[in-house]
Structure 1
Amino acid sequence: MVHPPKPGVSAIVTLGLIQILSWGGSFYLMAVMANPIAADTGWSQQWIYGALSLGILISGLLAPLSGRLIARSCGRMLLAASGGVMAVGLIIMGLSHHLLLFLFAWLIIGVGMAMGLYDALFATLGTLYGGQARGAITGITLISGFCTSLVWPGTALLIHWLEWRGACFAIAALLCLTVLPAYHFALPAPQGDLRQRAQSGRAAESDLSATLFWLLCTIFTLASVIMTAISVQLITLLQASGHTLASALAISAILGPCQVGSRIVDIAFKRGHPVWTAFFSVGLVALGLLLLACYPQWALVSMVLYGAGNGLRAIVRGTLPLAMVKPEAYAVVAGRMARPALIGQALTPLAGGYVYQQFGASVTLWLLCVLALINVVLVIVLKQKLPHQPQQPASGARN
């Protein structure tokens, strides 16, 4: 199959900016909105954050379907429609005066997340561009690494001006106005026989052995669980280690720049097999968490290491499966891999909160260290099981 030329700089910048808006209007929204919603409605924080978990869970359950649609050359259409679906959810959320309607809004937003966040975009890029998608994926994650630095202050400003309900409507309008034209500009229209491509994708999917598939699933799921737990509990863990609230906030602020920095470094090594990026990602995460557990006074250094490793995680998610299967099969395989990782993310706040409440901060942190070390071992096992020619899966098919 002949792939179009790799995306240009303007397309990569556009996709990166739209990802910032999409993540900011869904996954990262509750970090700023939860308190105003609780103050206005009287709903408990547990139910409010539970709505976000519901959205992530729905996204995970729909990920394989999203992958199959992308494999049939529907990726551009799916991504373009994601903004409208998220906007509908945000409008319902802004109109919610009952908790059940609020939860329903997040069910809709979860559908939009399955259609328009990293997994769907990377699958579409891999299907369109094959091995040439790696540079685009790295560039997009580099730009979107500034997401929280931009969307959290921006959302807070909208809440200050419009209150939280008005902020929902404003973000919905922004998604409606920008997402559809952006994807039509940045991605080429599908070409070729859609039925033939779907059949080719199903046949090529068998090139990836069950062992490699489940290794990848486990690695991605553990990485997502660790990331979610740290995102939710980092401030609390740092305070429990003896840091003041101001100090904990200052230390956590280093994560964003470190994530972006590691993605810049990855650009210099883009010719290497992505399994090495995966090894550095899980290794740095494990080293950072172990340093924090053993030497709390070195928290700043530990978060630099963790942030760098976590920054590479998004790149690995997109590029490692792409190096192991044909482009026609990539969307289907990526969709199947996304389900356990997203379900793990959805359940992590509940499980992590239970562990913290029952056993305390130290046990919680050491449990994360154990999970991180297991992930290092799994990546080493994956490296050993890869074919000797890294660009070819066992069947000899090229990516």
Structure 2
Amino acid sequence: MLQILVWGGSFFLLAVMAEPITQEMGWDSHWVYGALSLGLLVSALLAPFSSRLVARYGGRMQLAGSGVVVGIGLLIVANCQSLPVFMLAWIIIGTGMAMGLYEALFATLGALYTERAGRAITGITLISGFATTVTWPLLALAIEQFGWRAACMGYGILLIVTVAPLYLWVLPAGQHKQASKIAPSLATAIVDRRLYLLLTSIFALGAIIMTAISVQLVAVLQGLGHSLAAAIGLSALLGPSQVASRVLQILASKRHPIWTALVSSLLVAVGVTLVALAPGATALGLLLYGSGNGLRAIVRGLLPLALMPPAQYVALMGKMSRPSLLGQALTPLIGGYLLQHFGAMGVLAALCALALANVVLVVLVLRSLLCDANAQQGA
């Protein structure tokens, strides 16, 4: 629930709030959406530092503070009268995102539970799949009833008064002692560079595809000839399919996460391709894409945990997330350019290429693991 609150007040906020902000303030929409890109950029720059703090001190206080920082940013948004102040607010929100979203949480769980963190990560990503389902309708209702400023202020206050106490209650005290045992080994931890680059690329491509779909799906579907109502209805298929795939992952949790990564990348590639090439199968394509994207969040937490010792996992989660966040920051700008100059098919062609490339990268990791396993058996 805490992840739902923080995601809803940061990454997913402008999907509902951008239009009323642009209407009242008279700013171009690309500036409003650009504020999210700025927040993601700040989050990307701070992510490695965030992971180092988790490795040295534990993430309990950092996660607790994330709600306060994002909440303060929302209070500034609610009271801003100029674009520079609005951008400043999103710099603050981006700082809170680095402190409290998945990368910081996964690193914290890895420091706390080491190899046993997988079950907690899977359960949290399952519940967090309802983030848009819960927060978008609530925000939309609040905006309709009280206006976007009051809605933003109310959400910010909610984060400030709930996130910190609940994290301090849920996460055990004394985690810094466990983290301090991990921190000394960071200097000597050596990671396979090829594996690191492959995993980083897989996560970055998946994040870029997810961001493009999240920001542009309705516009792309309209560009393919669907009405606005039909496009919104089709987009609504993503949430349930994401959650359903995570439930299935729980049932098949004994499998190595590389197989989940392979299934995830294949579902995303097939789903996006169906949307692009088979208009009659758009609903099926979105269901497949949503299922694959739902598994992606689990893969992001479990695959490095399975392939790295705890010291490496905790230290590298933030560093590995930087390319993903940088890609996400640039995606709305590049996606908007493609949509404007090449239309919906241009966007989908780019997404298909990225999705197929991701399948290839996952196969390379799988091949490497199988070769290592065969070598160990031969020895």
Q: Same fold (TM over 0.5)?
A: yes
Range with bigger deviation, 163-172 or 263-272: 163-172
Among candidates 17, 29, 34, match of residue 45 of structure 1? 29
Q: Does 2:282 correspond to 1:299?
A: yes
Among candidates 174, 177, 187, match of residue 202 of structure 1? 187
Match of 1:203, SS state, is coil
Among candidates 174, 179, 182, match of residue 166 of structure 2? 182
Residues 17-76 of structure 1: CA deviation (Å, up to 9, x unaligned): 000000011111111111111111111111000001100110011100001111113311
How much has 1:201 moved relative to structure 2? 2.9
Among candidates 64, 67, 75, match of residue 91 of structure 1? 75
Q: How many angstroms apart in 1 are the aligned matches of 2:44 and 2:248?
A: 30
- Residue in structure 1 matched with residue 363 of structure 2 by the alignment: 380
Q: How many angstroms apart in 1 are the aligned matches of 2:254 and 2:200?
A: 24
Q: How many angstroms apart in 2 are the aligned matches of 1:384 and 1:335?
A: 26
Q: How many angstroms apart in 2 are the aligned matches of 1:363 and 1:26?
A: 28
Q: Does 2:268 correspond to 1:285?
A: yes
Using the aligned pairs only, state the percent identity.
53
Among candidates 246, 249, 257, match of residue 274 of structure 1? 257
Match of 1:386, SS state, is helix
- Residue in structure 2 matched with residue 217 of structure 1 by the alignment: 200
- Residue in structure 1 matched with residue 300 of structure 2 by the alignment: 317
Residues 278-337 of structure 1: CA deviation (Å, up to 9, x unaligned): 101110000001111111111000011000000001001111111111112212111111
Deviation beyond 3 Å, 4+ runs, structure 1: 193-196, 387-390
Residues 243-266 of structure 1: CA deviation (Å, up to 9, x unaligned): 222211111111000000000000
Match of 2:307, SS state, is coil
The amino acid that maps onto 1:334 is M
Q: Does 2:243 correspond to 1:243?
A: no
Q: Does 2:263 correspond to 1:263?
A: no
Q: How many angstroms apart in 2 are the aligned matches of 1:25 and 1:191?
A: 28
The amino acid that maps onto 2:220 is L
Residues 160/101 of structure 1: CA separation in 2 closer, same or farther (3 Å cut): same
Aligned ranges 1:71-110 → 2 under 5 Å:
71-110=55-94
- Residue in structure 2 matched with residue 253 of structure 1 by the alignment: 236
What is the aligned length? 373
Q: Does 2:195 correspond to 1:228?
A: no
Q: How many angstroms apart in 1 are the aligned matches of 2:265 and 2:139?
A: 31
- Residue in structure 2 matched with residue 352 of structure 1 by the alignment: 335
The amino acid that maps onto 2:53 is L
Residues 387/195 of structure 1: CA separation in 2 closer, same or farther (3 Å cut): farther
Residues 41/201 of structure 1: CA separation in 2 closer, same or farther (3 Å cut): same
The amino acid that maps onto 1:271 is K
Among candidates 327, 340, 357, match of residue 323 of structure 2? 340
The amino acid that maps onto 1:201 is L
Q: Contact between 1:22 and 1:175, CA under 8 Å: does it hold in 2?
A: yes
TM-score of the aligned structures, taking structure 2 as reference length: 0.95
Q: Contact between 1:34 and 1:49, CA under 8 Å: does it hold in 2?
A: yes
**Higher helix proportion:** 2
- Residue in structure 1 matched with residue 98 of structure 2 by the alignment: 114
Q: How many angstroms apart in 1 are the aligned matches of 2:276 and 2:146?
A: 42
Q: How many angstroms apart in 2 are the aligned matches of 1:160 and 1:301?
A: 33
Q: Contact between 1:71 and 1:329, CA under 8 Å: does it hold in 2?
A: no
The amino acid that maps onto 1:118 is Y
How much has 1:167 moved relative to structure 2? 1.3
The amino acid that maps onto 2:80 is S
**Structure 2 unaligned regions, length at least 5:** none
The amino acid that maps onto 2:274 is L
Q: Could you say what the CA RMSD is over the residues aligned between the two structures, in angstroms?
A: 1.5
Match of 1:43, SS state, is coil
Q: Contact between 1:128 and 1:327, CA under 8 Å: does it hold in 2?
A: no
Match of 1:323, SS state, is helix
How much has 1:195 moved relative to structure 2? 4.6
How much has 1:92 moved relative to structure 2? 1.1
**Structure 1 unaligned regions, length at least 5:** 1-16, 394-399
- Residue in structure 2 matched with residue 62 of structure 1 by the alignment: 46
Q: How many angstroms apart in 2 are the aligned matches of 1:328 and 1:242?
A: 51
